[in-house]
Structure 1
């Protein structure tokens, strides 16, 4: 794992392969390890970079008062520091919200985007009532004694978690820093980036699990409707963590996008 200093923070990232660079942005309560199937599969043709956001994995803790703009600015700073700008960016779940804020604040560093099972913020995609309910649930869970985090959040997968993914999920869950996850999910709950969607002027691929109950297909169709030229590909029999539940299909879609738009 390598590191780079951005805005006074030491940020970690994983990098493998050669060729066109692509940046992967993980979801909430995760780190760059969630992209292991993509790093392994796509590094034969691309330089695959997966960051640990502030407060995750090998990166420094989030500073006080850290918000969505902080994540986006740090991501832009890493892209610039690694001299890969403009780059295609791939995000899952909360990672798509970070990418949308990245595009809003730093469109010049984005060559194209793959948005998977995501949100324009919980408030933006699910409405205020649902955003508040989800955030209240998170706060309640974080207030409980730490008896080992459940790595299989309800609705993460369409069925039972893939056997090969359970150790990975358990390892990431064990490393979650509660203060950091509260910061990211506060930003997620408050964000409404729907106004960004019609401004996107780079190639955009949408990937959704057909059985995603955390970010339902209605959100995907709203993204497809609002983002000019966006292409939606739905993976059958798949839930929210589509990159882990259907890695072969997910990787094929990303590879095709990068080949044509990278």
Structure 2
């Protein structure tokens, strides 16, 4: 069931399942909280799992004018506080990992652990400048094309295409993407460099990567593991960028073990 809270003037939709220690899930660009459907089922046997629709996605309200990365982090912080979840581990995938890192930078008291999967310290902070420029150039025609004429599901998100059980889910999320929101995310990712924050992370951090991730390659994971103090890198074999759908069982095992190892509130 989708619930709603008003946070800093933004209507935020979220899903909540289970009882126990909290876990907050932050989806990637062109997605919404439905991305975490298998985790809302599987991890809720021992955790309170909360997956938001970020502003401008899913059932949440639209992006206010001039919405920036700090605003995404502040609204997420407000939701965590409003729901009484703090301090909580936060798991961010892809673009969601950048939002999660910004949350930990601006509101460290709310975060008890980080799970970064297929992550970036912003594109500028994790990828060569030429690669960032190429991504922007490749996505601009998609965003300019007429509605219904372009598939916004990138071909390299999975090791071998969307897994059968989740094909309909991926298609449904793609069909509901708001292009203005995606355009905002693209601009923020291209301009963001949070690499200087990584050595300052002071909470347990799990880096959870797909072996075959073509969007955030393993070299990004190894660099994060090198600079984030005490971080642990787990690589899922034969897995692409969207780890939680490509290999949900392996993903859930790693997340469950990480959460069990955190101090209880």
- Name the TM-score, length of structure 1 as normaliser: 0.98
List, as ranges, runs of 4+ consecutive aligned residues in structure 1 with deviation greater than 6 Å. none
2:200 matched residue in structure 1: 199
2:100 matched residue in structure 1: 99
CA gap of 1:237–1:243, structure 2 versus 1, over 3 A, is same
1:68-101 deviation per Cα after TM superposition (whole angstroms, max 9, x unaligned) = 1110111111111111111110111011100111
Deviation of 1:150 (Å):
2.4
Matched, 1:72 2:73: yes
2:261 matched residue in structure 1: 260
Deviation of 1:7 (Å):
0.9
**What CA distance in whole angstroms lies between the structure 2 residues aligned with 1:7 and 1:239?**
35
1:128 matched residue in structure 2: 129
**What CA distance in whole angstroms lies between the structure 2 residues aligned with 1:90 and 1:160?**
23
2:120 matched residue in structure 1: 119
Deviation of 1:131 (Å):
1.4
**What CA distance in whole angstroms lies between the structure 2 residues aligned with 1:48 and 1:115?**
16
2:25 matched residue in structure 1: 24
Matched, 1:180 2:181: yes
**What CA distance in whole angstroms lies between the structure 2 residues aligned with 1:78 and 1:160?**
33
- Contact kept? 1:37, 1:247, Cα under 8 Å: yes
- Secondary structure at 2:45's aligned position in 1? coil
**What CA distance in whole angstroms lies between the structure 1 residues aligned with 2:82 and 2:226?**
34
Matched, 1:245 2:249: no
**What CA distance in whole angstroms lies between the structure 2 residues aligned with 1:146 and 1:45?**
41
Gaps of 5+ in 2: none
RMSD: 1.0
1:187-210 deviation per Cα after TM superposition (whole angstroms, max 9, x unaligned) = 111100000100000000010000
Deviation of 1:104 (Å):
1.1
Gaps of 5+ in 1: none
Q: After the TM superposition, which of the residue ranges 233-242 and 148-157 deviates more from structure 2?
A: 148-157
Q: After the TM superposition, which of the residue ranges 65-74 and 149-158 deviates more from structure 2?
A: 149-158
**What CA distance in whole angstroms lies between the structure 1 residues aligned with 2:6 and 2:205?**
29
1:81 matched residue in structure 2: 82
- Contact kept? 1:124, 1:194, Cα under 8 Å: yes
1:160-206 deviation per Cα after TM superposition (whole angstroms, max 9, x unaligned) = 32111110001001110111111112111110000010000000001
- Secondary structure at 2:261's aligned position in 1? helix
CA gap of 1:112–1:234, structure 2 versus 1, over 3 A, is same
**What CA distance in whole angstroms lies between the structure 1 residues aligned with 2:5 and 2:134?**
36
**What CA distance in whole angstroms lies between the structure 2 residues aligned with 1:15 and 1:210?**
30
- Corresponding residue pairs, total: 262
Matched, 1:41 2:46: no
